[in-house]
Amino acid sequence: MGFFETLAEAVRQIQAQAESTLKQPNPLGLLTQASATASQAVTTQGRAAALKAARALVNALEAPEEKIVRISWGEPMLFLATRLGIDLKLFAKLQEATSPDCTCDELAKETGCDEVLLSRLLKHLATGAIVKETAVDRYAATPTSNLLATPEGAGPVVNCFSSLGKVESNVVEYFQKRDWKNPTDKDDSPFKYGAKTDLHYFQWVFQPDNQEEAGAFLNHMKLLSSGPRWYDTVPVEEIFGTSCGPSDVLLVDVGGNAGHDITKFHQANPNLQGKLILEDLPQTIESIDAKAIAPVEPLAHDFFTEQPVKGAKAYYLKMILHDWPDSACHDILSNLKPALKAGYSKILINETVIPDKGAEWYATGLDLLMMVTHSAHERREREWKALVKGAGLKVVKIWDCGAAPEKLIEVELA
Ligand SMILES: C[S@@+](CC[C@H](N)C(=O)[O-])C[C@H]1O[C@@H](n2cnc3c(N)ncnc32)[C@H](O)[C@@H]1O
């Protein structure tokens, strides 16, 4: 049974169960809708719609007290057990197993963890479908645990467990002391307050003795770029217009991290002519194997200084501006602006655009993560337009990017 069939079957089973037990008023309309959407997903690949319907179904069925305790300790303990599982290499051991499942005893020996402790972690991980409980004290890998066994899969967990751990114990005090003002000062973020550091998050994460943290951040970024991409749906030729010659610069990935995005762009568009430049902080650029990303050319550049690559066809900023409050974004765009050739160059901003109503958890969760980490935020359409206009630029078009959570904001000189 394929993924979509499994999903549809799961929702059908819940519907049958709910129909037989629920009294008036019951959410049968919702159940039917969820089931229909899941069935449709089988044929239309509307996985996101089916997932949304299934979540709405859970919200309708879950009692308020159940929801409160689930978010208070059910989910946080899943996060904790996952983090500990990564450190124990539990998910790798499950993946490497030659038998279809493993006993808790075997896993305890393989990981070096106390069997009772491991059995408690595994039980909770099974409730979140991170691992599969196949029989009493027997567990098997799942697609999620297999992904967690990779550096990219582990990245968001390791990265956020550490940074949010520093934020959470002091965040109430942080806001109380600031009279509940929205944080907009990059030098006074909840992260800096919680971590008791004078360093901005990026300075903190890239400290020489902080390699594990930096690696986890890098892998977090890689995982976020592993899903659907803007160039899967947006017509690239229309964006780039006139073609570039081989010595022209086609695309500069500003703050492109380890180059995972621009290299995939090249693989997806191998026939586009023009140079591809990857820019990031020196610490990141120095850690890159330049041969591995060729023909992409790495270049250390601080985006708070003037852009050194002039007259490129496009300057690409993926998940850059959401790290910074408006005043810093204004500085980043102003340092980019002198490099733009009028009527030719574009800035391509690849970020979430929070809908005025009905936003999804991905964008709103990221918004609060940016708030506590950087005193920054995800933006609504009107906020993007105001930010771009404030830097003497204009939004030409906001492209919907299909299943990708981010949109592509096409910007030119005003
Ligand atoms: C949220 S990450 C996004 C990375 C990449 N664009 C992506 O989507 O995976 C932000 C990136 O900005 C880089 N960065 C932070 N401050 C910078 C600066 N002053 N100049 C250049 N890059 C910077 C970080 O090293 C990091 O790679």
Q: Determine the distance separating the centroid of ligand 1 and the alpha carbon of 342, expressed in angstroms.
A: 26
Q: What's this model's pTM, rounded to 2 decimal places?
A: 0.90
Interstrand relation of 275-280 and 353-354 (parallel, antiparallel or unpaired): unpaired
pLDDT in tens, 256-284: 999 999 999 999 999 899 999 999 999 89
Ligand 1 residue neighbourhood (C-beta within 6 Å): 202, 221, 225, 255-257, 261, 280-281, 284, 302-304, 318-320, 323
Among 110, 152, 279, 351, which one carries the catalytic annotation?
351
Give, using CA atoms, the residue closest to atom 1 of ligand 1: 319
Per-residue tokens: 220 = 């977090």
CB-CB contact of 121 with 142 (8 Å): no
**How far is residue 331's CA from residue 342's CA, in Å, rounded to a whole number?**
20
**How far is residue 256's CA from residue 254's CA, in Å, rounded to a whole number?**
5
Pocket test for ligand 1, best of 219, 265, 278, 281 (most atoms within 8 A of CB): 281
Per-residue pLDDT band at 44 (split at 50, 70, 90) = very low
pLDDT at 24: 43
Q: Which of 157, 156, 79, 58 minimizes the C-alpha distance to 125?
A: 79
Element (H, E) at 412: strand 407-413
Per-residue pLDDT band at 25 (split at 50, 70, 90) = very low
How far from 88 is each of 92, 114, 412, CA to CA, in Å? 9, 11, 49
pLDDT at 158: 98
pLDDT at 23: 47
Q: Determine the distance separating the centroid of ligand 1 and the alpha carbon of 48, expressed in angstroms.
A: 28
132 contacts: CB under 8 Å, gap ≥ 6: 101, 126, 139, 140, 141, 142
pLDDT at 8: 59
Q: Where are the beta strands (DSSP E) in 192-307?
A: 249-254, 275-280, 297-300
Instruction: Decide if pLDDT at 49 tops 50.
Output: yes
DSSP per position, 347-401: EEEEE-EE-SSS--HHHHHHHHHHHHHHS---EEHHHHHHHHHHTTEEEEEEE--
Residue type, 285: I
Give, using CA atoms, the residue closest to atom 9 of ligand 1: 221
CB atoms under 10 Å from CB of 388, counted, come to 22
Give how far the C-alpha of residue 257 lies from the chain's centroid of Cα atoms, to the nearest Å: 14
Q: Which of 327, 321, 319, 324 minimizes the C-alpha distance to 375?
A: 324
CB-CB contact of 336 with 254 (8 Å): yes
pLDDT in tens, 157-181: 999 999 999 999 899 999 999 999 9
pLDDT in tens, 292-342: 999 999 999 999 999 999 999 999 999 999 999 999 999 999 999 999 999
Instruction: Decide if pLDDT at 244 tops 50.
Output: yes
Residue type, 187: D
Give, using CA atoms, the residue closest to atom 10 of ligand 1: 320
**How far is residue 73's CA from residue 52's CA, in Å, rounded to a whole number?**
23
pLDDT at 318: 97
DSSP 8-state class, residue 243? P
Q: Determine the distance separating the centroid of ligand 1 and the alpha carbon of 96, expressed in angstroms.
A: 34
pLDDT at 254: 98
Identify whether 351 is a catalytic site residue. yes
Instruction: Decide if pLDDT at 45 tops 60.
Output: no
